[in-house]
Amino acid sequence: MLVPAEVWTIAKSDAGSAVLIKPVGSDVAVPIFIGPAEAHSILIGLANHKMPRPFTHDLFLSTLKQTGITIKRIEITELKEGTFYARLLVKQLEEELSIDARPSDCIALAVRVKCPIYIDEAVVDETGIPLSSGGEEIATRKGETESQLITLRQQLKEAVEVENYEEAAVLRDKINKLQQDIE
């Protein structure tokens, strides 16, 4: 059975980045390991940050919009041999379609369009990890810091492009401090 869920945070570990999906009202989260590009894209979506040029997920959403397709929800449906499976449920006119996709792509799209996220209870039971109150606070702060870093890096790039080096230096220092805080 599918249950409503949310993106709890993006965490980094020795094994790489993981997006933690938390069933609503639960005290467990499912870690789904993803690549750095996928983590970056999800963080951009969570921060609602608009990039000067579209990323792949933004391009896909623009294409869907131009063709009259809307994303209704995403579903993380199963885990087979260590691989998570997901699907994107979309609607075009009166027809609903289910599209097989990687969970990371589904999540990157969902955080941009603010559509519902669902996860199968069997996946939660098999892979969910308990969240402690102390760990929850640390992971939440870490996710917020990652979002701030994305915004600051974009501002730094823009400051350098217009040759505002004083502002660039201030932004560089803020970035360095935030990076030290999460390491």
Give the chain's radius of gyration (CA, Å).
Answer: 18
What is the three-class DSSP state of 26? Answer: coil
Supply the pLDDT for residue 180: 66
Residues 162 and 180 placed together within one structural domain of the fold? yes
Question: How many angstroms separate the CA atoms of 77 and 22, rounded?
Answer: 14
Q: Tens digit of pLDDT for each residue in 2-42?
A: 999 999 988 877 667 899 999 999 999 999 999 889 999 99
Residue 109: which CATH number? Answer: 3.10.690.10
Supply the pLDDT for residue 81: 87
Supply the pLDDT for residue 146: 64
Residues 136 and 89 placed together within one structural domain of the fold? no
Sign of CA dihedral 38, 10, 26, 84: positive
Supply the pLDDT for residue 139: 52
Residues 46 and 93 placed together within one structural domain of the fold? yes
Positions of the chain with pLDDT lower than 50, given as ranges = 133-138
- Look up the domain containing 142 and give its range: 132-183
Residues 26 and 109 placed together within one structural domain of the fold? yes
> What domain count does the chain have?
2
What is the three-class DSSP state of 12? Answer: strand
Q: Parallel, antiparallel, or unpaired: how do β-strands 69-80 and 117-120 relate?
A: parallel
Final residue of a domain: which of 113, 131, 149? 131
Residues 108 and 20 placed together within one structural domain of the fold? yes
Residues 116 and 43 placed together within one structural domain of the fold? yes
